[in-house]
Structures are given as C-alpha cells and as structure tokens.
Amino acid sequence: MLVPEPPTAQSSSFPPVAYAARGARRIAVGRADDTTPDAYARVRLDPDVGAAVADAYVAAPRRDERAYPAYAAFCRETVRQYHFLVGRVEFGGLGVAVRIVDEDPYPDVASMVDDVRHHRLRVWASAAGGNQHPYLSDGENDMFRAVHDVLGHAASGRGFDRHGEEAAWLKHRTMYSRLAGRALTTETRGQNCARIFHYGGDRFPEQKAVLLPRRFSDPPRRWVGRGGVVPAGPS
C-alpha cells in the first residue's frame, strides 16, 4: 500500500557547478545534451508518475537475469565516467578528489556542492550501509554514487528532494547508452521513488538488479515544469 507523499519544502536548486556541467556535456552520448541549465531547474516529478514508478520497483524481484546485459553496460560506462571524474585536468579529466567514508558526509546538498566546487567529494561507503547490491560490487556502487553526485546533481543544479532526483536522473541519463540507461533508471528513479512514495522518505529500499518498464526508463519527449513545457533531452 502506498504511503502518502510527505509534505516537502520548495524544490532545491542552485547554479550548476560550471566545470561539472561542461564535463557532462562532453560525455553526453548520441545527441548532445541540448537543454539549457534553467530547463533542469524547472523539472518536476508528477506524484502519480512517482507512485507508479515506486509500485513497479517494489513489485519487482531482487534480481532478474534478463537485466544483466544492461547492468554490465552500466558498470562499464560508470567506470569510464569515474576515471573521467578523478582524472587529472591536464589529461582531460575533471580532477575531483574522491574519498570514501563510513558515515553520511553531508547534512545537505549545499555542503556537497561546496565540496564539488573545490574539486573534492566524499562518498558514503556502500559497505557501511548494510544494503548490498545483488549485481554491483561495493566499489562499483561507490563509483556510481560519486559520478551521480557530480554529473547528475552538481551538473544539473538540483538537490536531493523528489524533483531534484528526477532532474538528476534526466541529466545523468544523457551520459549513458540506451541499454545502460535502463539500469541507471532502476538505480536512481526507481530507488528514489520507492524511498519517497512507499517509505515516506525514512527508509532506503532494497537494492535490486532489475529493469523497470520502458515507459519509466525512457525520458519523456517533453518535461512539464513550473515555468511551462520544457523540451526533453535526448533519450
């Protein structure tokens, strides 16, 4: 049964971190990420859509072998993104110093963004959470957390509320192939919707290696935001 969505403050947004946004555009696959920064600032997650995504995630098994090709592609592409993230600037990387820590390192998104602006990032170790992924190793999971914080959140200028998570999914989706993007959707949109709409934001759902229905994995052709209808990025 669905838990009613808790009241939320106004969706958090901030100026995208410039070097992260440039890096995200550099590694966008297919068509370039041609949306303007303010388009991501206007992304909103419709609660009916969020509840439907949550239902699909919670109803799915913990693992499904049919999802493994997508997860294999997702792992390969995440590792490449991580090397780009931590690579030295003079060699074409973003030069972010990543530290894996045993406790949640940031009280809010502003603290994380301040670190990223100074080319550093702390990541809460997957091994410390006790919620082991059925496909990803702890190291792979940690790498994904790092790249998503920088290339999803910092590059889009959006926080960790439900609207910010939707914007970060859309932004980060432009950097994955279509196959890998389906695993990304499970790891971001699926988990966050389950956390918010089924568990009231108080519990992180069980991690899974499954694929959600394509209608939830493929970005919409157009986003509807507070400022009107916003053209969607590439799918």
Asked whether residue 88 carries a pLDDT value surpassing 50, the answer given is yes
With cut-offs at 50, 70 and 90, classify the pLDDT of residue 130.
confident
Stretch 185-193: mean pLDDT: 98
Q: What is this structure's pTM?
A: 0.89
> Percent of the chain, pLDDT > 70?
86
**Residue located via tokens 């100026």:** 15
Q: How many domains does the chain have?
A: 1
With cut-offs at 50, 70 and 90, classify the pLDDT of residue 201.
confident
Domain that holds residue 22: 18-223
Amino acid at 77: E
In a domain, 5, yes or no: no
Asked whether residue 177 carries a pLDDT value surpassing 70, the answer given is yes
What's the chain's length in residues?
Answer: 235
In a domain, 8, yes or no: no
Average pLDDT, the chain: 88
Beta-bridged to residue 224, according to DSSP, are: 229
> Percent of the chain, pLDDT > 90?
79
Identify whether the C-beta of residue 235 lies closer than 8 Å to the C-beta of residue 35: no
In a domain, 229, yes or no: no
In a domain, 215, yes or no: yes
Asked whether residue 81 carries a pLDDT value surpassing 60, the answer given is yes
User: What does the pLDDT read at residue 7?
Assistant: 37
With cut-offs at 50, 70 and 90, classify the pLDDT of residue 103.
very high
In a domain, 9, yes or no: no
In a domain, 4, yes or no: no
Asked whether residue 230 carries a pLDDT value surpassing 80, the answer given is no
pLDDT tens digits, 112-127: 999 999 999 999 999 9
Residues with Cβ within 8 Å of residue 1, at least 6 apart in sequence: none
User: What does the pLDDT read at residue 32?
Assistant: 54
Range in 37-41, 84-88, 145-149 the model is least confident about? 37-41
CA distance 47 to 5: 8
Find, among 136, 114, 107, the residue nearest to 124 by Cα.
107
In a domain, 133, yes or no: yes
Identify whether the C-beta of residue 163 lies closer than 8 Å to the C-beta of residue 44: yes
Stretch 155-161: mean pLDDT: 96
Stretch 103-117: mean pLDDT: 95
CA distance 195 to 202: 7
Stretch 106-112: mean pLDDT: 94
In a domain, 11, yes or no: no
